[in-house]
Structure 1
Amino acid sequence: MDENNRTNKDILTKGLKQMGICLLLMFAGPTLLHLTLDNKDKSLYIPLLIVSIILCILAISFLFIGINTIMNSMFKKK
């Protein structure tokens, strides 16, 4: 087996950390969004709605970045 075909473990752990952050954001974003939409009459409705939407977008972004990093660690040539 050639050295160039091996998985780069440093990049793989970075990708797994990104996926862990994604997992946390995947729970935090929709939970906060649900709690925000249930309390439309509160004074912090708009700021919490903006924060929850940003968390949901960050979850999707970290998902794609994490998957791309993991794929690069396995298949990218040095």
Structure 2
Amino acid sequence: METKRTNKEVLIQGLKKMGLSLLCMFLGPTLIYIAFSNQEKPLYIPILIIGCLICGLAIFFAFKGLKTILDSMFNN
């Protein structure tokens, strides 16, 4: 009978994705705040779009990271 163990390589990949998600969670709202505080500048729209895309990436990487971490614990 084999004991189930956590796959450490997959767990590290999941933690890296979660770290990237955390970085995006701070960077995205910061860019959105900067864009809204400088609405008269010509780069208002591009910075706002980039901020929204980074917020979307934060959600994407959070889900991928959680799935990877759970796969490392429960898959063979």
TM-score by length of 1: 0.92
For structure 1, list consecutive stretches of 5 or more residues without a partner in the other structure.
Answer: none
Amino acid at match of 2:71: N
Distance of 2:10 and 2:20 partners within structure 1: 15
2:57 alignment partner in structure 1? 58
1:2 alignment partner in structure 2? 2
For structure 2, list consecutive stretches of 5 or more residues without a partner in the other structure.
Answer: none
1:15-58 Cα distance to aligned partner (Å, 9 max, x none): 00000101100000001111111111100011101100000000
Runs of 4+ in structure 1 off by over 3 angstroms are: none
* Pairs aligned (count): 76
TM-score by length of 2: 0.95
Identity of aligned residues (%): 51
RMSD: 1.1
